[in-house]
Amino acid sequence: MKNLKGILFSIIFLVLALGFVSAVQAVASFTVTDLSFGSGTQARGEDVTQTLTLTNTGTDPLTINLVSRLPTVYNTVFSQPSVTLSPNAVANVDVTITIPDSQSSQTTTITGGIVATSNVTSISRTAKVSVTAQSMLEITKVSILIDGNSEQTLSDSTDFIDDNLKAGTPFVIRVYAKNDFADSTNLDMTSAEASISTDGDLNIDDTQTIGDIRPTRKEYTEFSGTIPSDAQDGDTYSLDVTADAQDDNGAMHYAETTRDIRIERKTDEISIVKYKITPQTISCNGKVTITADLQNTGRYTEDNSFLVIENDQLSILDKSYSTSLKKDDVVTKTFSFNIDNKTEPGSYDFMLTSFYGSDKQSDEQVVTLTVDPCLTTTPTTTTTTPIVTNTNTNTQPAIPQVVPINGATPAYGSASFTDSSAYIIILVAAVIVILLILIILLVKFVF
User: Which is more confidently placed, 8 or 107?
Assistant: 107
Instruction: Order across the sheet with 124-127: list the strands.
Output: 82-85, 62-68, 114-118, 124-127
User: Which is more confidently placed, 446 or 123?
Assistant: 123
Query: What is the reported pLDDT for 418?
Result: 58
Task: Encode pLDDT of 419-445 as tens digits.
Answer: 566 667 777 788 788 888 888 877 777
Mean pLDDT of the residues in the chain:
84
Q: What is the mean pLDDT of residues 399-409?
A: 42
Q: Which residues of 10-24 are buried (b: 16+ CB within 10 A; e: fewer)?
A: eeeeeeeeeeeeeee
Q: Is the pLDDT of residue 9 over 60?
A: no
Query: What is the reported pLDDT for 416?
Result: 54
Q: What is the mean pLDDT of residues 265-270?
A: 86
Q: Which residues of 296-329 are buried (b: 16+ CB within 10 A; e: fewer)?
A: bbbeeebeebbbbbebeebeeeeeeebeebeeeb
Query: What is the reported pLDDT for 25?
Result: 45
Q: Is the pLDDT of residue 390 over 60?
A: no
Domains with residue ranges and CATH for the chain: 25-132 (2.60.40.10), 137-262 (2.60.40.10), 270-372 (2.60.40.10)
Q: What is the mean pLDDT of residues 406-415?
A: 43
Please name the helix (run of DSSP H) or strand (run of DSSP E) that holds residue 10, with its range, or none: helix 2-27
Query: What is the reported pLDDT for 402?
Result: 40
Which amino acid is present at 316? Answer: I
Q: Residue 86 — very low, low, confident or very high, per pLDDT cuts 50/70/90?
A: very high
Q: What is the mean pLDDT of residues 266-277?
A: 89
Q: What is the mean pLDDT of residues 135-150?
A: 94
Distance in angstroms between the alpha carbons of the first and the last residue of the chain: 210
The whole-angstrom separation of Cα 166 and Cα 234 is 10
Q: Is the pLDDT of residue 145 over 80?
A: yes
Please name the helix (run of DSSP H) or strand (run of DSSP E) that holds residue 426, with its range, or none: helix 421-445
Query: What is the reported pLDDT for 241?
Result: 97
Q: DSSP H helical segments within 87-195, as ranges?
A: none
Compute the residue count for the chain.
447
User: Which is more confidently placed, 153 or 201?
Assistant: 153
Q: Is the pLDDT of residue 332 over 70?
A: yes
Nearest to 57 by CA among 6, 98, 116: 116
The whole-angstrom separation of Cα 153 and Cα 174 is 9
Task: Encode pLDDT of 188-242 as tens digits.
Answer: 999 999 999 997 778 787 899 999 999 999 999 999 999 988 888 889 999 999 9
Q: Is the pLDDT of residue 4 over 90?
A: no
SS3 364: strand
The whole-angstrom separation of Cα 274 and Cα 301 is 20
Task: Encode pLDDT of 302-323 as tens digits.
Answer: 888 889 999 999 989 998 877 7
Q: Is-contact 36 22, C-beta < 8 A?
A: no
Lowest pLDDT segment from 4-8, 38-42, 237-241, 399-403: 399-403
CA–centroid distance for 381 within its chain: 57
Q: Strands 114-118, 137-146: parallel, antiparallel or unpaired by DSSP?
A: unpaired
